[in-house]
Structure 1
Amino acid sequence: MIGGRNLMAYMLLISLSFCHFQEAAFMNMNLLSLVQQALGGDFPNLAGQFLGESPGATQSALTSLLPAVLGVITRKDATPDGASGLMSLINGANLDASALANPAGLFGAGGTGINNLLKAGTDSLVPALFGDKSAALANTLASSSGIKSSSATSLVAMVVPLVLTVLKKFIGENGLNASSLASLLGSQAPQLQGAIDSRLAGALGFASPDAVLGGLGGLGGKATAAGGAAVSAATAATAASKSGLSRWLPWLIGAAVLLFLWDMFVGKPTQTSAPPPAAAAISLPAKVYFSIGSAVVDADGSKTIATVADMIKQERLKVAITGYTDKTGDVAKNEALAKSRAIAVKDALVVAGVAEAEMTMQPPSFVETGTGGSDAEARRVEINRQ
Structure 2
Amino acid sequence: MADNLIEMAVRHLGSSGLSALGSALGLPDGKSESAFSAGAASVLAGMLNKAGSESGLGALLNMATKANDLDLSSPVDIFTDKNKMTSLQDVGGSIVDALFGQKRDGVIGSVANALGMSPSSGGGLLRIAAPVIMSLLGKLVKSKGLNMEGLAALLLGQKAHVRDKLPAGLLQQLGVANLDELAERTVVETTPRQSARSTPPPPPVKKSGWGKWLWPLLIALGVLWALNMCAKKEKLDDGTGAVIEQKEEVIVDETPAEPMQPVPDTTEPMDTSPVPPVTTGDFGTEFRDYLANAQRDPSREFALYIEFPTDGSMPNADSLPDVQTLIKIMQENPGLSVALEGHTDSTGDAAANQTLSESRAQAVMQMLVAAGIEAARITATGVGSANPIADNDTEEGKQKNRRIAVKVTAFE
Q: Tell me the TM-score normalized by structure 1.
A: 0.47
Q: Tell me the TM-score normalized by structure 2.
A: 0.44
The higher radius of gyration belongs to: 2
Q: Tell me which protein shows more helix as a share of its residues.
A: 1
